[in-house]
Amino acid sequence: MMSERYRDCIAACLECVKACHYCVAGDLKEDHDMAGCVRLNIECAAICSATAKLMTMESEQAVALAKVCAELCKKCEQECSKHNTQHCRDCAKACHSCALLCNTL
């Protein structure tokens, strides 16, 4: 059974992974250069996935990684907030929620 301590943060991390992947797919369809957004989305999805895995295992390093995750989620949120597309708005929202929850640990 998953630790109650991490339940909401794991859910937020996994939601962020989905939003980042969706944003990458949307960015790749845009007519203008979205390379910075794509790069941050890929990095953010990777750190969110790793953080969720460590929390699920109740790793001693979960909280430390959650702090790094929150930092990268904030960067991704800031980048996505620059773009006026629904996929970027959705991603920014998911990144914001994930960063908030990761910072509460």
Domain harbouring 92, CATH code: 1.20.1270.360
pTM comes to 0.95
Give a yes or no: residue 68 inside a domain: yes
Give a yes or no: residue 57 inside a domain: yes
Give a yes or no: residue 35 inside a domain: yes
Number of domains, the chain:
1
Tell me: the pLDDT tens digits for 50-79?
Answer: 999 999 999 999 999 999 999 999 999 999
Give a yes or no: residue 42 inside a domain: yes
Give a yes or no: residue 45 inside a domain: yes
Tokens describing residue 34: 């979205």
Range of the domain at 13: 7-103
Distance CA 7, CA 22 (A): 23
Q: Which residues contact 75 (CB under 8 A, 6 or more apart)?
A: 40, 44
| pLDDT-above-90 percentage for the chain | 92
Residue 43: pLDDT band with limits 50, 70, 90 = very high
Give a yes or no: residue 2 inside a domain: no
